[in-house]
Amino acid sequence: MREFLHVLRAYQIEHVVDIRRFPTSRYTHFNREQLKNCLEQHGIEYHHLARLGGYRDGGYRRHMSSTEFEQGLRCLEAYAASKRVAIMCAELLYTKCHRRFIADALHERGHTVIHIIDDTRSDEHKGADRTLDEFLGDDEPSESDYNYGGSGVYTLDSQRRDFP
C-alpha cells in the first residue's frame, strides 16, 4: 500500500474514485472497506462509483450509451470540479481496461485525462481518432483508434503488489 500511496502523493491526488464493478481484490488492502479506511487516514477521499464499473451485459460500449453511464460520468465530473481525482480499477494496463472508454468520453467532453504508470511516468490521453458516437457504432475498434501519448482526471490500477 505504501507504493500506491506514494503514487497518489506524487500526483497530488485528493480523491480516488473506484470504478471496479466489484470492489474486491486478491490483495486485501485493495478491498473496498480497507482501501477506503486507509485512504481516508491519509487525507484522501474515496468513493466507489459502480455506475462506471465494467463487466456489462452487451459490453462496455453499449453501457456507455445508457443513462446509468451518463449519471456516473456526471458524478465523476462533479468530483473532479473541486478536487484532483484519480479513477482506479483492477486492470494494470489502461489500454486493456474500461478506463480507456471513460477516458475517451471525458476527453470528448473537453477534460484532460492522464494515465498514471508510476510515480514518475504518465501518459496524457489523446482520445480516439473518431468521435465517441462513431466509436460506439463500431463493433471492433483497431489499435489505430487510439493515440496514446507521453493533466483533469487521472487513471491508475490497483494491481501493485506492495503490502500495507
In the block, cell 468530483 appears at: 79
At 123 the pLDDT is: 87
At 72 the pLDDT is: 97
pLDDT tens for the chain, 164 residues: list them.
888 999 999 999 999 999 999 998 888 999 999 999 999 999 999 999 999 999 999 999 999 999 999 999 999 999 998 899 999 988 877 888 899 999 999 999 988 899 988 889 888 888 765 454 554 554 444 433 333 222 245 665 444 333 23
CA dihedral 64, 142, 130, 49 (to 10 degrees): 30
Greatest CA separation found in the chain?
Answer: 44
Query: Which residues partner with 117 through β-bridges?
Result: none
Give the fold, CATH level 3, of 2-157: Protein-Tyrosine Phosphatase; Chain A (3.90.190)
At 74 the pLDDT is: 95
CA 84 to chain centre: 13
Where are the chain's structural domains? 2-157
Closest by Cα among 94, 83, 111, 68 to 12: 83
